[in-house]
């Protein structure tokens, strides 16, 4: 009788110098599983011969099979579910498929489809991803963090689910956002997936529909507020510093007051940034730099009118003002280039009870209650939508912008697509094809008559993966606004003349890895220049970062 094989074969991986489980266990581990790509030698060494079909496939062949299955799905939500299942089954294949098909995959694994996925998260859940920390875990958050199976965490993406995209309070269902962002860190920024941790702080929800849904995933209570909320977040920050002391903490989709308050409270205490405030700001600024290359004006001569004075709008205004200081404008003159309309109308000094972040952009001007009147009165060169209010860039607004400017700059940045201030077709049609347009969610190219217009997507994916990679590379103690200013310039520098000729003001997505590399180098350079790290700058910083970037390739086990 032949001796039975042990349940687990001990096989040393030369790439990681660690011991891997064998048998069916390796097939259930998405970080180790290769499916039909295991070689004959590996199948014998791992004790999995017969547990996978006999034909050995390359990862390229597996991608073709996955694309066929992806295409068979009837709608985008089903495609999202399929991609999530693939990530749970074979992580390397998932990232290979995404990296090789970015333009098709990004709208599925992130905006706009992730918005629908979050709304239905409790109904489509197959396998839990990320780490849920609830208000019930107060006093033992460090213990919960220590349950995460990977210890070398360098990026933590956290939300409390209160302002998911333009969809509002989705509570624990907001986990789709940090899960998606963590995936983009790997797919677009080259961070090892095992170094990225998505976290949802479940402090309740005000969404009554979710509270009444028996399949809702979170605790069924109204939100923790005030001191209790701040104390919970304080414990979370302390636990991050204890369990993952080298991690960058990225905040996502917090309500406006918490977003600004937490950023100011913690930005100088650890390596933290808010993507909705600072990442979006860098994308807006990068888009404006590129747009001005098309319009032919000077950046310092732009007059920018924002619709929306929340995280995205005010954050962008602050970074634009910083950029204008480098154009030798005074601080007052720089801020005078940025105007805001919020839910109560134009932000002017005569308005009472303005929070300080808005008052910094309040100008001496008459009160105007509506956006179209503000456009006609102020004659901006650019309008930027960050309101979450669909249709606010109406036909009359767009026509007015075209009357004022030979090439009006129109950014309709609200997400998901259903919340966009206008569509790409509306922007081009109502400006006679003269608009320099960008949106938050993707739109297909627009054909009007004999002309085809290619839209730009102002997606934060151009910025945050590179900023995180650069901060990790330099072991930065803090992430500063100077880093986001450098990131914006790096993104804009990657836009080619050929892309500008088609109307694109952001680099083509297939080049995202080079964009992230450029942003990472710019971010790390700031850390070294400003003394934000104890590390010495390497002689060839770009080469070091490039060689460190994750590539979705199978490792040899035997």
Set 34, 96, 181, 419: catalytic member = 181
The band of 83, judged by pLDDT with boundaries at 50, 70 and 90, is very high
Above pLDDT 90, what percent of the chain? 92
With 0-12 / 13-18 / 19 or more C-beta atoms within 10 angstroms meaning exposed / middle / buried, residue 238 is: middle
Q: What mean pLDDT do residues 552-558 have?
A: 91
Per-residue confidence at 22, pLDDT binned at 50, 70, 90?
confident
Residue 19: pLDDT band with limits 50, 70, 90: low
Round to whole Å and give the CA distance between 66 and 62: 6
Q: What pLDDT, in 10s, does the model give residues 380-425?
A: 999 999 999 999 999 999 999 999 999 999 999 998 888 999 999 9
11-98: which CATH architecture?
Answer: Up-down Bundle (1.20)
Cis peptide, bond prior to residue 273, ω within 30 of zero: no
pLDDT average, residue stretch 451-480: 95
Q: For residue 166, what pLDDT is reported?
A: 87
pLDDT, one tens digit per residue, over 24-35 is: 899 999 999 999
Q: Is the pLDDT of residue 11 over 50?
A: no
> What pLDDT score does 537 carry?
97
pLDDT of residue 21: 76
DSSP conformation letters of 253-306? S--HHHHHHHHHHHTTTSSEEEIIIIIHHHHHHHHHHHHHHHH---GGG--EEE
Average pLDDT over residues 421-440: 96
> Which of 142-151, 413-422, 540-549 has the least mean pLDDT?
413-422
Q: Is the pLDDT of residue 261 over 60?
A: yes
The DSSP 8-state label assigned to residue 168 in this structure reads: B
pLDDT class for 23, splitting at 50, 70, 90? confident
CA separation for the pair 245, 154 (Å, rounded):
9
* Residue position matching structure tokens 């939300």: 159
Over the chain, what is the mean pLDDT? Answer: 94
Has domain 110-270 been given CATH number 3.40.50.300? no
What is the helix (H) or strand (E) element at residue 250, kind and residue range? strand 248-251
Let me know if the fold of 110-270 is the same as that of 279-461: yes
Q: Whole-angstrom Cα distance, residue 533 to residue 477?
A: 6
Round to whole Å and give the CA distance between 393 and 399.
10
For the segment 176-184, the average pLDDT, to the nearest whole number, is 98
| pLDDT tier for residue 174 given thresholds of 50, 70 and 90 | very high
pTM for the full model?
0.94
**What was the pLDDT predicted at 179?**
98
Please report the pLDDT score of residue 196 as a whole number.
Answer: 98
Residue 500 is encoded by which pair of tokens? Answer: 């500008």
Query: Which residue did the predictor score with more confidence, 9 or 345?
Result: 345
Q: Which residue out of 110, 121, 462, 554 is catalytically annotated?
A: 110
Q: How confident is the model at residue 170 (pLDDT cuts 50, 70, 90)?
A: very high
Round the CA-based radius of gyration of the chain to a whole number and report it.
24
Residue 110: active-site member = yes
> Comparing C-alpha atoms, which of 250, 382, 254 is closest to residue 307?
382
The pLDDT of 161-174, averaged and rounded, is 96
Does 364 have pLDDT greater than 90? yes
Tell me the C-alpha distance between 200 and 174, whole Å: 7
Note the pLDDT tens digit of each residue in 202-223.
999 999 999 999 999 999 999 9
Q: CATH class for domain 279-461? A: alpha beta
All structural domains of the chain with their residue ranges: 11-98, 110-270, 279-461
Dihedrals phi, psi of 371, to nearest 5 degrees:
-70, -45
CA dihedral 489, 495, 497, 503 (to 10 degrees): -110
Strand partners, 249: 156, 272
Task: Please check the confidence at residue 462 and state whether its pLDDT lies above 60.
Answer: yes
Distances (CA, A) of 384 to 139, 201, 325: 43, 31, 21
């Amino acid at each position: 009788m032949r001796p039975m094989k042990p349940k687990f074969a001990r096989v040393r991986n030369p790439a990681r110098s660690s011991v891997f489980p064998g048998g069916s266990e390796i097939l259930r581990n998405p970080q180790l599983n290769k499916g039909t790509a295991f070689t004959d030698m590996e199948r014998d060494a791992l004790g999995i011969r017969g547990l996978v079909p006999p034909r050995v496939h390359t990862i390229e062949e597996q991608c073709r099979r996955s694309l066929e299955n992806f295409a068979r799905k009837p709608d985008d939500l089903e495609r999202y579910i399929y991609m999530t299942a693939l990530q749970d089954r074979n992580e390397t294949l998932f990232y290979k498929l995404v990296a090789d098909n970015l333009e098709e995959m990004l709208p599925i694994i992130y905006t706009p489809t992730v918005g629908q996925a979050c709304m239905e998260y409790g109904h489509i859940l197959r396998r839990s991803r990320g780490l849920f920390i609830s208000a019930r875990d107060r006093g033992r958050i460090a213990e919960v963090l220590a349950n995460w199976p990977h210890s070398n965490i360098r990026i933590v993406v956290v939300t409390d689910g209160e302002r998911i995209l333009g969809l509002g309070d989705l509570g624990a269902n907001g986990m789709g956002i940090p899960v998606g962002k963590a995936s983009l860190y790997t797919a677009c920024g080259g961070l090892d997936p095992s170094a990225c941790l998505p976290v949802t702080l479940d402090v309740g929800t005000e969404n009554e529909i979710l509270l009444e849904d028996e399949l809702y995933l979170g605790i069924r209570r109204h939100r923790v507020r005030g001191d209790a909320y701040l104390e919970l977040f304080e414990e979370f920050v302390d636990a991050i510093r204890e369990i993952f002391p080298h991690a960058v903490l990225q905040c996502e989709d917090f309500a406006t007051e918490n977003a600004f308050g937490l950023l100011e409270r913690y930005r100088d205490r650890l390596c933290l940034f808010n993507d909705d405030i600072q990442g979006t700001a860098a994308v807006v600024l990068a888009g404006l730099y590129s747009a001005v290359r098309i319009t032919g004006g000077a950046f310092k001569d732009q007059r920018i009118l924002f619709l929306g004075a929340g995280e995205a709008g005010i954050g962008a205004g602050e970074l634009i003002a910083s950029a204008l200081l480098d154009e030798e404008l005074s601080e007052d003159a720089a801020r005078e280039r940025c105007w805001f309309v919020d839910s109560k109308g134009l932000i002017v000094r005569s308005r009472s009870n303005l929070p300080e972040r808005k008052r910094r952009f309040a100008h001496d001007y008459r009160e105007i209650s509506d956006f179209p009147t503000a456009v006609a009165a102020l004659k901006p060169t650019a309008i930027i939508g960050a309101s979450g209010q669909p249709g606010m860039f109406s036909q009359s607004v767009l026509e007015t912008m075209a009357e004022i400017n030979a090439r009006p700059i129109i950014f309709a940045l609200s997400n998901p697509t259903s919340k966009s201030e206008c569509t790409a077709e509306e922007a081009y049609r109502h400006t006679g094809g003269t608009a320099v347009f960008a949106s938050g969610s993707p739109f297909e190219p627009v054909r009007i008559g004999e002309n085809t217009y290619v839209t730009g997507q102002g997606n934060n994916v151009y910025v945050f993966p590179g900023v995180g990679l650069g901060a990790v590379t330099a072991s930065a103690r803090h992430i500063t606004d100077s880093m986001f200013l450098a990131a914006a310039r790096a993104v804009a520098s990657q836009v080619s003349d050929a892309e500008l000729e088609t109307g694109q003001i952001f680099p083509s997505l297939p080049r995202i890895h080079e964009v992230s590399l450029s942003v990472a180098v710019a971010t790390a350079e700031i850390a070294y220049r400003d003394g934000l790290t104890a590390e010495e700058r390497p002689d060839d910083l770009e080469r070091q970062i490039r060689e460190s970037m994750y590539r979705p390739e199978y490792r040899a086990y035997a």
